[in-house]
Structure 1
Amino acid sequence: MKYNTIAVGTDGSDTSLRAVRTAASLAAVYDADLIVVSAFGSHDKVGTRQERDAEIPVISEDMSQTFLKAAQDIATEEGAKRIHVIAKSGDPVATMLEVGKYYQVDCLVVGNKGRNSVRDRVLGSVATELMRKAYVDVVVANTSDDR
């Protein structure tokens, strides 16, 4: 089996950058294209009415660009040769799936971070949701501090 195009998401956190490192290493081994995605935008607060002022920014577009630059540096350091970065407005899971289909990605990489956040308890983790909805292989990188 060979992966030709690998995609990974980042939100700028240390753990998501570890997932980028994992994806970049895979891209180097398989000589695959690497697509690094950062979803930006705002989401409704849990438990509030869906009013305009009920939205909180999760990641701004500017922040997204900063995160992608850091991720690109890590991917280069890991030996990935063809790195593409994409900042896209939307939900992280939907964004990864859209980018994956558009670029014919055959492997999605995500970190296991976030299992204890409010969003994850209410809506489910990004890793779990991607594994459930993806049409390609999903690699979940262990990004915990105690590994």
Structure 2
Amino acid sequence: MSENYSKVVVGTDGSKSSLLAVERAAKIAAAFDATLIIGCAYYESKDDASKTLRQDSMTILGDDPARANLEKASEVARAAGCDKIQAEVRSGTPVEALMAMVNDNQADLLVVGNRGINSLTGRLLGSVPADVARQSDCDVMIVHTVS
């Protein structure tokens, strides 16, 4: 593992808190001259979405809203000074999508917001930030986006 980050992954669901995480990840990527990979998870159907007990992320049905979220997030990243941006949509839960992007891109850093981490549901069922921190082989930065 090098001490420099070359690939930084961040997820967005279009929410204000996720865009704060994108902005922080973009600043880090720009500082290291790294590629920022912005991802958005989506569910193929309402049935897929309803199988997930968690409600700590916005439910995105279909890849069109996911692509719209990525466009908005890419604008935020560019405004934060990052010019090496890759956008990816992935079907599945936010955790599955983020882990797939980290592994497929051999990322060195995963940035997530803290939404859901302190809620009762988050403590009982897990939250996206806690779950990715446990599963990830790369560094994970949890950005304080929600108080």
Same fold (TM over 0.5): yes
| DSSP 3-state at the match of 2:59 | strand
| Higher radius of gyration, 1 or 2 | 1
| DSSP 3-state at the match of 1:79 | coil
Q: Which residue of 2 aligns with 1:44?
A: 51
Residue-by-residue CA offset, 1:58-89 (whole Å, 9 max, x unaligned): 20222111110110000000111110000110
- Indicate conservation of the 8 Å contact 1:4/1:31, yes or no: yes
What letter is aligned with 1:58?
T
Q: Which residue of 1 aligns with 2:142?
A: 140
CA RMSD of superposed structures (Å): 1.7
Q: Which residue of 2 aligns with 1:58?
A: 59
- 1:33–1:21 CA distance, 2 compared to 1 (3 A): same
- Indicate conservation of the 8 Å contact 1:43/1:58, yes or no: no
Residue-by-residue CA offset, 1:29-67 (whole Å, 9 max, x unaligned): 000000000000024164xxxxxxxxxx92022211111
Distance in 2 between residues matched to 1:9 and 1:25, nearest whole Å: 15
Distance in 1 between residues matched to 2:21 and 2:107, nearest whole Å: 16
Q: Which residue of 1 aligns with 2:97?
A: 95
Aligned mate of 2:6, from 4, 7, 23: 4
Runs of 4+ in 1 over 3 A off after TM superposition: 115-119
- Indicate conservation of the 8 Å contact 2:117/2:129, yes or no: no
Aligned mate of 1:79, from 78, 81, 95: 81
What is the deviation of 1:120?
A: 2.6
Distance in 1 between residues matched to 2:127 and 2:81, nearest whole Å: 29
Distance in 1 between residues matched to 2:141 and 2:50, nearest whole Å: 26
Structure with more of its chain in strand, by fraction: 1
- 1:44–1:119 CA distance, 2 compared to 1 (3 A): farther
Distance in 2 between residues matched to 1:62 and 1:116, nearest whole Å: 30
What is the deviation of 1:114?
A: 2.0
Residue-by-residue CA offset, 1:108-139 (whole Å, 9 max, x unaligned): 00000123657534421111011111000000
What runs of 5+ residues in structure 1 fail to find an aligned partner? 47-56
> Does residue 110 in structure 1 map to residue 108 in structure 2?
no
